[in-house]
Amino acid sequence: MPTIYAIGETIYDIIFRENQPRAAKPGGSMLNSAVSIGRCGLKVEMITELGDDQVGHVVLDFLNENGVSTPFINPVKGFKTPVSLAFLDENGNANYSFYKRYPAERLNIEWPEAGRGDVVLFGSFYSLDKAVRSKIIPFIKKSKENGAIIIYDPNIRKNHLTEIKSLMHLVEENIDLADIVRGSDEDFVNLFGLNDVETVFSRVKKTGGKYLVVTKGENGCEFYSEKFNLHISAKKVEVISTIGAGDAFNAGLILGIAKMGLTVSDLVNTNRDDWMELIRFGVNFAADVCGSYDNYISVKTAESAMDK
């Protein structure tokens, strides 16, 4: 069974609907994926930054309780774990206000070594932050050399638009390092100003990407490779919150990769039916998350997925 490494920012989400707080959850894109993966019983390591404060300890306990390994997290004294206020609209989509101030020294850890068959998930604006990128990218490159599958999720929000143009070369480097790029249609509008998936794939392929998955909410998702493309319908669900939907999709995709025993060298020969199965894991996980205020799949859904 592979080890999955999830690298990203941790945020404690306070979720509002109609301007009233409804839930408070450990969050952050890669953390959300890691928790869903951990609930499935896979070996998952979280690499992130936490403060040595009450919120940080709540997050650390939550990760350990949900099967996420934390030896590479060193809570920092004097650093307050970041918090976000997430305001849900009538469709369950969130607008965020972030509260964070990082210390001068960051990600001071002894990095692990991913190997053949392992999976590394990274992305979001965190992967573009120069304060930590100089530590993350060498790990990604070494993992790629060792034969790990690299999955990149851009996860670019509207509040990043003023900065993203100056950082496009870093986004392109991330795409080039990735074996699979998975983003939402909104991500690629924010990044490239493009909403046609075929055109997005042309841009991704030009940058070095080989496999593209674009999730489109209730309109399902699209898969593109040089050999073929697929459309997979979304599951109908009463949407409460979409906060963790894309993150859950990533977790489902990774679960499918693990269950099939795929390595990076297998991807080139993975056929249409196998990609369809991989993506259905993602679709099912995303639907489960949309039906609650949780940012991760339910334990019941995790158990059911592992039984299949």
Residue 67 lies inside a defined structural domain of this protein: yes
What confidence category does residue 12 fall into, taking pLDDT thresholds of 50, 70 and 90? very high
Tell me the mean pLDDT in the region 156-175.
90
Strand order of the β-sheet with 3-7 is 68-69, 43-47, 3-7, 119-123, 149-153, 180-184, 211-215, 221-224, 229-232
Tell me the mean pLDDT in the region 236-259.
96
> CA geometry: angle at 91 spanning 89 and 94, to 5°?
45
Residue 105 lies inside a defined structural domain of this protein: no
pLDDT for 158: 79
Answer yes or no: is pLDDT of 308 > 80: no
- Domain of residue 136 covers 3-100+110-307
Burial 85-119 (b: 16+ CB within 10 A, else e): ebebeeebbbeeeeeeebeeeebeeebbebeebbb
Helix/strand/coil percentages in the chain, nearest 5: 45, 20, 35
What confidence category does residue 13 fall into, taking pLDDT thresholds of 50, 70 and 90? very high
CATH number, domain with residue 80: 3.40.1190.20
Q: Indicate the pTM of the whole model.
A: 0.96
Indicate the number of domains in the chain: 1
Predicted confidence (pLDDT) per residue in 82-129, tens digit:
999 999 999 999 999 999 999 999 999 999 999 999 999 999 999 999
Q: Mean pLDDT lowest for which of 27-31, 91-95, 169-173, 284-288?
A: 91-95
What confidence category does residue 15 fall into, taking pLDDT thresholds of 50, 70 and 90? very high
Amino acid (one-letter) located at 15: I
pLDDT for 161: 82
Are 164 and 133 a contacting pair, CB within 8 Å?
Answer: no
Phi, psi of 56, deg, nearest 5 = -60, -40
Residue 249 lies inside a defined structural domain of this protein: yes
Distance, CA of 240 to CA of 262 (rounded, Å):
34
Predicted confidence (pLDDT) per residue in 116-136, tens digit:
999 999 999 999 999 999 999
pLDDT for 186: 94
Are 48 and 8 a contacting pair, CB within 8 Å?
Answer: yes
pLDDT for 87: 96
pLDDT for 1: 85
Residue 262 lies inside a defined structural domain of this protein: yes
Predicted confidence (pLDDT) per residue in 53-65, tens digit:
999 999 999 999 9
Rounded to a whole number of angstroms, the CA Rg of the chain reads 18
Predicted confidence (pLDDT) per residue in 151-161, tens digit:
999 999 877 78
- Distances in whole angstroms, Cα of residue 295 to Cα of each of 138, 252, 304: 29, 14, 18
Element at 223 (helix H, strand E):
strand 221-224
What confidence category does residue 302 fall into, taking pLDDT thresholds of 50, 70 and 90? very high
Among candidates 82, 127, 78, which has minimal Cα distance to 104? Answer: 78
pLDDT for 306: 85
Which token pair is 160? 């990043």
Answer yes or no: is pLDDT of 226 > 80: yes
Q: At what angle do helices 197-207 and 168-177 cross, to 10 degrees?
A: 80
Q: What percent of the chain has pLDDT over 70?
A: 100
